[in-house]
């Protein structure tokens, strides 16, 4: 069994908040002028992640199924004269890079994952296998427009960041464990976010032959 | 940076380029051949002609379903029936494009059928169904260092994650989406790439590419002896001007007296090529440096595994292809323009770089 302690956690659930309102809410969290160049997902992930940044040798695992939906939409709409800015912004894992470049924050290991129903299990596995003492696992989605209507972008926006340690911290929030199982089922990224946001426990199939247990302490 | 000492061996490995499999590709590189051809950057919609290396018979415009499924099936044929996709036999997939060419085709009005393979997870789910893989598939995407991360994770799964073997599979196929993007950045232009050559204008080419490696303990005569990664997070597309990011990733790799030859990233851009070749010469003085993207184009997220398969095939052939497409003067004297015998070397360092100042390197050595 692989396990780590959840040392700290940040979540952002804009719910029905308009994207422009979310941007305004988060803008003060970034350097003047920086937010103008960021995507909504970059701002949400960045605002969550920045509060947890610690030692320079932390590893980061990033998880998003759809990534930069609005930048992707904008880049596709820019043809036949494609936008270089939207091209680079649309590339996975742009949100994590926006967050870290904004802070000029070098790091040893960034493991960006995509994926569908198995994404949570695989990101948890990457976080639990990483050799760093402290691993930050962040992720999220941003609600698309015409790509969403085609089933090619997320239907909701959310972001999270959590810090996982090997050693038990002074005041751990939770314990996260993963073990091999033949139990069918999966835990999708939005459902994982909802568990974190509501501080709800979970013990069940996470996908890909892995059983995940989230136990709040 | 992270250096991960790894006893994990390469039990099987091959790649697919426009020249064919790894052995055929190395043979073509040794003959000095280039797969890059001028192709309109937006496919059937035209645009400037840019150097692209497409699989034989494949158009830049995406089909529904993507036409690259059949060549992938042929590439994977030696390992496809081995029960992959379980916790004991996981799959690590690496790509930067996945099926984004399908989303482009959908947007350009080429039909709803393209939606089925558009997102990374839909594309991977489609491949899983086609190849009969289970659900235990980790999907990595970090631009041009993606394959290195999938190899690193695959090695960890075998070392500590309960896996008996891991299949690492990387693929990237070109489309007007990605060609248009690099053309907009002005680094994909009418010029052909000349990696590590000191010239007035930098240029890259792009190529179709796919590869796989089976990682296991105790099976295979070569090992992934070490991995290293570092992320500058200095600028979206530029590296730190002093080359510190290149130095940091290389410093994490043990040299321990080995005599190495170096397979660099070498896309053909000037600043990155100058910084990379200088850092490699500082860390491994006198070690010959080659880059193959002047012949094959940049195969993006798959390049780390495609070029690992080529390095392995070159070692088995006893001869390393030179830096096809480049000429003197080069940034450093270590750049090998011509092919050389490699029997006297102990291993190969394979390096890749990506947007965001991401750096990755691995050491391939006899087990």
Rounded Cα distance, A56 and B105, in Å: 42
The pLDDT of residue B102 is above 80? yes
Per-residue pLDDT at A216: 98
Beta bridge partners of A212: A178, A204
Average pLDDT, chain B: 95
Is residue B1 very low, low, confident or very high in pLDDT (cuts 50, 70, 90)? very low
Q: What percent of chain B has pLDDT over 70?
A: 98
Task: Identify all chain A residues contacting B45, using CB atoms and an 8 Å cutoff.
Answer: 80
The verdict on a CB contact (< 8 Å) between B103 and A107 is: no
Retrieve residue B209's tokens: 């590419």
Per-residue pLDDT at B2: 43
Q: How many residues does chain A have?
A: 217
pLDDT, tens only, B104-152 = 999 999 999 999 999 999 999 999 999 999 999 999 999 999 999 999 9
Q: Which residue of A has its CA nearest to B249?
A: A108
Phi-psi region of A125 (alpha: psi -120 to 50; beta: other; left: phi over 0): alpha
The verdict on a CB contact (< 8 Å) between A76 and B177 is: yes
Rounded Cα distance, B127 and B68, in Å: 11
Q: What angle do CA A74, A80, A81 make, to 5 degrees?
A: 75
The pLDDT of residue B4 is above 50? no
Task: Identify all chain B residues contacting A118, using CB atoms and an 8 Å cutoff.
Answer: 135-138
Nearest Cα neighbor of B354 from B272, B247, B244, B253 is B272
Inter-chain Cβ pairs, chain A and chain B, closer than 8 A: 175
Task: Identify all chain B residues contacting A75, using CB atoms and an 8 Å cutoff.
Answer: 177, 181
Retrieve residue A41's tokens: 């997902």
Average pLDDT, chain A: 96
**B161 to chain A nearest CA, in Å?**
7
The more confident residue out of A135 and A183 is A135
Task: Identify all chain A residues contacting B139, using CB atoms and an 8 Å cutoff.
Answer: 113-115, 119, 122
Query: Phi and psi at residue B66, in whole multiples of 5°?
Result: -55, 135
The verdict on a CB contact (< 8 Å) between A82 and B2 is: no
Retrieve residue A29's tokens: 């969290």
User: What DSSP string runs through B343-365?
Assistant: TT--EEEEEEEETTTEEEEEEEE
Interface of A with B in 73-102 (CB under 8 A): 75-77, 79-84, 87-89, 91-93, 97, 100-101
Query: Phi and psi at residue A216, in whole multiples of 5°?
Result: -80, 135
The verdict on a CB contact (< 8 Å) between A91 and B96 is: yes
Range scoring the smallest mean pLDDT among A7-11, A39-43, B107-111, B161-165: B161-165
pLDDT, tens only, B76-98 = 999 988 899 999 999 999 999 99
Per-residue pLDDT at A141: 98
The more confident residue out of B6 and B223 is B223
Identify which of B85, B125, B356 has the shortest CB distance to residue A116.
Answer: B125
Whether omega for the bond prior to residue B130 falls within 30 degrees of 0, making it cis, is no
Rounded Cα distance, B367 and B364, in Å: 9
Is residue B333 very low, low, confident or very high in pLDDT (cuts 50, 70, 90)? very high
Q: What letter would DSSP give residue A192?
A: H
Per-residue pLDDT at B236: 87
Per-residue pLDDT at B356: 85
CB-count exposure of residue B150 (10 Å: 0-12, 13-18, 19+): buried
The verdict on a CB contact (< 8 Å) between B157 and A116 is: no
Task: Identify all chain B residues contacting A116, using CB atoms and an 8 Å cutoff.
Answer: 121-122, 124-125
Q: What percent of chain B has pLDDT over 90?
A: 93
Rounded Cα distance, B152 and B230, in Å: 13
pLDDT, tens only, B261-292 = 999 999 999 999 999 999 999 999 999 999 99
pLDDT, tens only, B209-235 = 999 999 999 899 999 999 999 999 999
Q: Helix/strand/coil (H, E, C) string of B159-193?
A: HHCCCCEEEEEEEECCCHHHHHHHHHCCCCCCCCC
pLDDT, tens only, B244-253 = 999 999 999 9
Nearest Cα neighbor of B84 from B230, B248, B213, B246 is B213
Interface of B with A in 38-57 (CB under 8 A): 42, 45, 47
């Amino acid at each position: 069994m692989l396990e780590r302690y959840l040392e700290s956690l940040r979540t952002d659930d804009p719910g029905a908040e308009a994207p422009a309102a979310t941007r305004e809410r988060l803008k003060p969290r970034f350097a003047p002028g920086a937010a103008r160049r960021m995507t909504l997902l970059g701002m949400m992930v960045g605002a969550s992640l920045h509060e947890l940044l610690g030692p320079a040798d932390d590893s980061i695992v990033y998880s998003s199924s759809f990534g930069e939906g609005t930048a992707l939409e904008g880049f596709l709409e820019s043809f036949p004269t494609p936008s270089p800015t939207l091209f680079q912004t649309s590339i996975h894992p742009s949100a994590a890079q926006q967050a870290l470049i904004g802070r000029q924050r070098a790091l040893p290991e960034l493991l960006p994952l995509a994926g569908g129903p198995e994404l949570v299990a695989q990101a948890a596995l990457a976080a639990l296998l990483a050799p760093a003492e402290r691993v930050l696992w962040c992720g999220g989605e941003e609600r698309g427009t015409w790509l969403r209507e085609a089933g090619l972008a997320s239907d909701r926006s959310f972001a999270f960041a959590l810090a996982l340690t090997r050693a038990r911290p002074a005041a751990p929030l939770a314990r996260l464990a993963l073990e091999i199982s033949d139990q069918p089922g999966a835990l999708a990224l939005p459902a994982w976010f909802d568990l974190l946001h509501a501080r709800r426990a979970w013990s069940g199939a996470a996908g890909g032959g892995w059983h995940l247990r989230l136990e709040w302490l | 940076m992270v250096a991960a000492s790894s006893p994990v061996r390469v039990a099987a490995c091959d790649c697919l380029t426009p020249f064919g499999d790894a052995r055929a590709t190395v043979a073509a590189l040794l003959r000095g051949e280039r797969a890059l051809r001028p192709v309109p950057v937006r496919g059937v919609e035209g645009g400037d002609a840019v150097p692209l290396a497409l699989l034989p018979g494949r158009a830049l415009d995406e089909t529904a379903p993507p036409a690259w499924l059949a060549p992938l099936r042929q590439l994977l044929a030696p390992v496809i029936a081995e029960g992959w996709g379980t916790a004991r036999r996981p799959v690590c997939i690496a790509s930067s494009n996945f099926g984004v060419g399908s989303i482009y085709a959908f947007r350009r009005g080429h039909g709803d059928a393209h939606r089925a393979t558009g997102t990374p997870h839909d594309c991977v789910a489609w491949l899983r169904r086609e190849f009969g893989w289970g659900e235990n598939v980790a999907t990595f995407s970090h631009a041009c260092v993606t394959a290195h991360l999938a190899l690193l994770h695959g090695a960890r799964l075998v070392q500590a994650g309960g896996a008996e073997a891991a299949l690492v599979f990387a693929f990237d196929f070109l489309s007007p989406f990605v060609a248009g993007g690099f053309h907009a950045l002005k680094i994909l232009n009418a010029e052909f790439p000349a990696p590590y050559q000191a010239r007035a204008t930098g240029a890259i080419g792009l190529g179709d590419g796919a590869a796989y490696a089976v990682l296991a303990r105790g099976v295979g005569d070569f090992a992934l002896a070490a991995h290293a990664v570092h992320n500058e997070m200095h600028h979206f597309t530029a590296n730190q001007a002093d080359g510190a990011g290149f130095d940091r990733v290389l410093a994490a790799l043990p040299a321990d007296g080995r005599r190495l030859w170096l397979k660099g990233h070498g896309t053909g851009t000037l600043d990155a090529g100058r910084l990379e070749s200088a850092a490699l010469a500082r860390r491994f003085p006198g070690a010959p440096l080659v880059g193959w993207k002047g012949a094959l184009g940049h195969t993006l997220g798959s390049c780390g595994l495609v070029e690992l398969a080529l390095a392995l095939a070159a070692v088995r052939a006893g001869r390393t292809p030179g830096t096809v497409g480049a000429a003197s003067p080069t940034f450093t004297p270590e750049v090998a323009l011509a092919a050389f015998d490699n029997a006297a070397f102990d291993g190969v360092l394979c390096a890749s770089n990506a947007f965001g100042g991401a750096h990755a390197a691995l050491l391939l050595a006899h087990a």
